[in-house]
Amino acid sequence: MTNLDKDTEEKILAIVEKYQKENTKLLNYLITDDEITFFSPLANGKAVTAEDLQKVADILDGSFIGMEMVNQEYRFKFKMGC
């Protein structure tokens, strides 16, 4: 399992933290091959906008694949490096 570098994590967190509860600042994700999935609890209250999803895709030099709700969380999937 790999992780994003700290600079990339900070850039993405700066975009998605406004969708999290105050003072949470969590970036939960899983990287498999050339895909990355970000997890956000439904309890946070808001799904990330399409505009912000595109910003994340640009940071990853990739594309947004889709979103689903599973087990009380949003899952945002991206293909990296495409």
Q: Assess if residue 1 is contained within a domain.
A: no
**pLDDT value at residue 44:** 67
**8 Å CB contact between 37 and 29:** yes
Q: How many structural domains is the chain composed of?
A: 1
Full residue range of the structural domain in which residue 71 is found: 6-79
Q: Assess if residue 52 is contained within a domain.
A: yes
Question: How far apart (Å, rounded) are the C-alpha atoms in residues 72 and 22?
Answer: 19
The string of pLDDT tens digits covering residues 11-68 is 999 998 888 877 667 788 999 989 999 988 877 666 688 999 999 999 999 999 999 9
pTM of the full structure: 0.86
**pLDDT value at residue 56:** 95
Question: How far apart (Å, rounded) are the C-alpha atoms in residues 12 and 56?
Answer: 6
